[in-house]
Structure 1
Amino acid sequence: MTLEVRDIVDLRFSTADWSERDRLPIFREQIGRMMVGLDPEPLTDGAFHAEANIRELPGLGIGSWTCSNLRIARPRALLHDGKDDFVLTIITSGQVRASQRGREIDLAPGQAVLMSAAEAGEMAGSPSPSRFFGLRLPRKALASLGSSPQDMTMRALSANTEALRLLAFYVRELDDGYQLATPELVDAVVNHLTDLGALIIGANRDGTVVAEERGLAAARLAAVKADISENLGYDLTLSAVAARLKLTPRHIQRLFESAGSTFSEFVLGQRLARAHRLLTDPRWTDSTIGAIAFESGFGDLSYFNRTFRRHYGATPSEIRSGPRRL
């Protein structure tokens, strides 16, 4: 378990790291009740497992969980901590049952539910592993965008909406080591996630405009960039990326324009960066520069050499002959 306290709090743990005797007491008291305001317990006798990556940002929280044979409750005894946020939980695998306000909802992968931290409730999985992530959304932030989350609690929400898909993608990007290096970047991420949450829950007209121009646009651009990075070795065209992401080519162009760039500039930069990584990777020592250029998406070796030298101030051969990473 690691815990860092700055403006951002990161908590990562796995019950597999603790002895069987200490597993439930540590998880229940030190993690559940003291840190996250929850009360976990096994569903049935026998082994249970939980691992999580929880990140607390100023004004927002993110948690990715994997659980088996567990019930994670927020009982009335813990409501005195004063938390009145809303938690949007999206199921990524397995089966989960959510209970609150006298209602129970069975959730399958691709579904989501909104619950209130100000009321008693619980999430229960099954003996097999379930994976889900939760987004803690402050009431005031949602209200500023004209959302009425109290009207959307305990409803099964489909993750097939664009906002939910982009929210899931955005959270995965953060889990994959996305570095929040500056306060400005932290504020931007918090705003973007809040915007996506408000769109999922429902915002008024003015709030929707703000959320679409800010959080939705940022998430769309991140998804476009990720798609480009995953397909660098192929014939990347604006129309192909647009078709995969169900956006119009002109909309993608506007997304890049708002960031002070263009689609073509970003693709070229990513291909050059990939070529540079391969040229300094010992595993590619036996590959020709032409093969590396082709692997990075360049079909014309002369064009590759010219643009690479202009970008890095050195030829591919000079980069390759320099110090190598181990």
Structure 2
Amino acid sequence: MAVATRPGREAAPDARNFVPFWLVSADVGRDEASTLSRRILGRNVAREAAAPDLPLPFAARCVLTTRPDIGLRSCFAPASHWIWPPEGAGEGTRHGLVRPAEGRIVVGQGDRRIALRAREAAVFALDRPTEFVLAQPGRIDVIELDSALLPSLRGDAGLMQVIPRSNPGLQALAHYGALLLRGLLPLNSAELQALAKAHVHDLIAAALADREPAAPAAMADRRAGRLAAIKADIEARLERRELGVEMIATLHGVSARAVQKLFEAEERTFSDYVLERRLDRAWHRLVTAEGAALTISAVAYEVGFGDLSYFNRCFRKRFGRSPSQVKAQAVNGET
């Protein structure tokens, strides 16, 4: 998609710098785009582009992609009705994969109709008009596919068929795509980016090869798996002071209440868990050689606290000693 770079913004980076990149609707202000970037990525992305003349996919307000572009799109605040226009004739038919992160969508192509629930997916051809009707839209994930990397899509095999959310290949694809879009993999060469793109297509091929619903896992197992994934995301973001339940809920495509309920099963709150992990990390920093040169305030801010007095109170309550006492005992070899 051609875009015009906003004044004062950098042009798209070369293959040595694989980074998240926002495509922003012309009617979205910079403050709104920055707020969304912080909520999704935990930081502002320095590079963004406006598309005043070309519509974004699903007429979304903002689209998160990458530069260089490897075909991944997360479309935020999409329209409730949108028609994907057919592509012009080229070298063979191209395809796309669509996956609603939340809500439901009905996909229509010719006389075929399918309905997708949150986190289900389907592959469709791009050489004909495709209609999308969205209920409770929030975010739609799209991958523009290279048909040469998916020989199983020759003909109409695999097209316009629901891939269930329990499909192992689709689940792996969702997690891998999230890592790519958040810039968490250092793919800073054309060779690595080509490998990542090929792996995306391999995961899609695996998902298409097994569209039967997986045997239902026990409810407790599903909840445990979701909670483990949430805790991993918390661990990766502990140092961010803006870390909160809304950020984590958005990352996982669920409501904040759903996240809170997972922690309630452990008889604690989301905030309790974050506080415990920050305090445990602070303790570790204070008693290890690497943290010996750090001040108490530096340790507090490093693990995500914004108020030194609050950190000291919480630390003493949890461990029965002040941070300075723990550090002094560690220096003297008493911890």
TM-score range, shorter chain: 0.5 to 0.7
Give, in whole Å, the separation in 2 of the partners of 1:49 and 1:141. 28
Pairwise CA distance, 1:140: 1.4
Cα deviation code 1:167-200 (max 9, x no counterpart): 1122223333435451154234223312211111
Does residue 200 of structure 1 match 2:210? Answer: no
Distance in structure 2 (CA, Å) of the matches to 1:64 and 1:13: 12
Shift in Å at residue 151 of structure 1?
0.7
Q: 1:25-49, CA deviations, whole angstroms, 9 ceiling, x for partnerless residues?
A: x96x8334xxx8x7x6xxxxxxx75
Q: Measured at CA, do residues 80 and 227 of structure 1 come closer, stay the same or move farther in structure 2, by a change above 3 Å? A: same
**Which residue is 1:157 aligned to?**
163
2:96–2:143 CA contact under 8 A, matched in 1: yes
Does the 8 A contact of 2:109 with 2:131 survive in 1? no
- Structure 1 match to 2:103: 94
CA distance in 1, matches of 2:92, 2:67: 14
- What is residue 74 of structure 1 aligned with on the other side? 85
Letter of the structure 2 residue corresponding to residue 79 of structure 1: G
Of 27, 46, 50, the match for 2:61: 50
Structure 1 residues 224 and 129, CA, compared in 2 at 3 Å: closer, same or farther? Answer: closer
- Aligned position for 2:270: none
**Cα–Cα, structure 1 residues 104 and 195, in superposed 2: closer, same or farther, change >3 Å?**
same
Higher normalized contact order (CA 8 Å, seq sep 6+, divided by chain length)? 2
Of the three residues 93, 118, 125, the one matched with 1:84 is 93
SS at match of 1:191: helix
Cα root mean square deviation, aligned = 4.6
Q: SS where residue 170 of structure 1 aligns?
A: helix
Q: Is the 8 A contact 2:106 2:113 kept in 1?
A: yes
Secondary structure at the counterpart of residue 205 of structure 2: helix
**Higher share in helix:** 1
Alignment of 1:89-128 (within 5 A): 89-117=98-126, 119-126=127-134, 128=136
> Cα 1:125–1:226, aligned 2, differ >3 Å: closer, same or farther?
same
1:134-213 → structure 2 map (5 Å cutoff): 134-143=142-151, 150-178=156-184, 180-183=186-189, 184-202=191-209
The aligned residue for residue 74 of structure 2 is 64
CA distance in 2, matches of 1:99, 1:128: 18
The residue type equivalent to 1:96 in the other structure is: I
What residue in structure 1 maps to residue 53 of structure 2? 30
Closer, same or farther in 2 for the Cα pair 1:187/1:148, shift >3 Å? same
In the other structure, the counterpart of 2:8 is none
Structure 1 gaps, min length 5: 19-25, 41-47, 204-222, 234-269, 296-300, 310-314, 316-326
The answer as to whether partners of 2:84 and 2:131 remain within 8 angstroms in 1 is yes
Q: Distance in 2 between matches of 1:274 and 1:13?
A: 42
Distance across 2 between alignment mates of 1:6 and 1:100: 36
Give the whole-Å Cα distance in 2 for the aligned partners of 1:31 and 1:273: 52
- Report the CA distance shift for 1:169/1:179 in structure 2 as closer, same or farther (over 3 A): closer
TM-score after normalising by structure 1: 0.53
Contact kept? 1:84, 1:138, Cα under 8 Å: no
Residue 271 of structure 1, CA deviation = 5.1
Whether contact under 8 Å (1:84, 1:116) holds in the other structure is yes
For residue 274 of structure 1, report the CA deviation from its aligned partner: 8.5
Structure 2 contact 13–67 (Cα < 8 Å) conserved: no
- Residues 1:17 and 1:172: Cα distance change in structure 2 (over 3 Å): same
Cα deviation for residue 116 of structure 1 reads 1.6
Q: Which amino acid in structure 1 is aligned with residue 193 of structure 2? A: V
Q: CA–CA distance in 1 between the matches of 2:146 and 2:283?
A: 39
- Looking at structure 1, the residues matched to 68 and 234 of structure 2 have their Cα atoms a distance apart, in angstroms, of 29
- Counterparts of 1:130 and 1:114 in 2: how far apart (Å)? 20
User: Offset at 1:114?
Assistant: 0.4
Q: Label 1:274 to 1:225 Cα distance change in 2 as closer, same or farther (>3 A).
A: farther
Find the aligned partners of 1:106 and 1:95 in 2 and give their Cα distance: 7
Aligned to 1:151, the other structure's residue is in SS state coil
Percent sequence identity over aligned pairs: 15
- Hey, what's the Cα distance between the residues in 2 that align with 1:155 and 1:99? 11
**Normalising to structure 2: TM-score of the pair?**
0.51
Cα 1:114–1:273, aligned 2, differ >3 Å: closer, same or farther? farther
